[in-house]
Amino acid sequence: MEIFDLTKEHLSRIIELQKKYSDIPMDFADATLLITAETLNISKVFSIDKDFFIYRILGKRHLENLMR
């Protein structure tokens, strides 16, 4: 497990992701988890949300939810 500190610089990416996935909709927690995965270059997440198979890291790779 790794703890990632979000900064105010991540806010624009959060807004961008929430707009991109507005039909789902993506909440703040989902967006921060995706930003963390993008920044740390990881593709495995641990979430009770079932919609993580839809999200893409930088528009390419999908996330694998370890809770699934």
pLDDT digits 0-9 by tens, 42-62: 888 888 887 778 888 887 888
Residue 28 lies in a domain: yes
Residue 4 lies in a domain: no
pTM of the model as a whole: 0.81
| Rounded to 5°, angle at Cα 3 from 16 and 68 | 75
Structural domain containing residue 59: 10-65
Task: Name the domain count of the chain.
Answer: 1
pLDDT digits 0-9 by tens, 2-44: 788 999 999 999 999 999 999 988 899 999 999 999 999 888 8
- In 3-state terms the chain splits into helix, strand, coil percentages (rounded to 5) of 45, 10, 45
Residue-level pLDDT at 67: 85
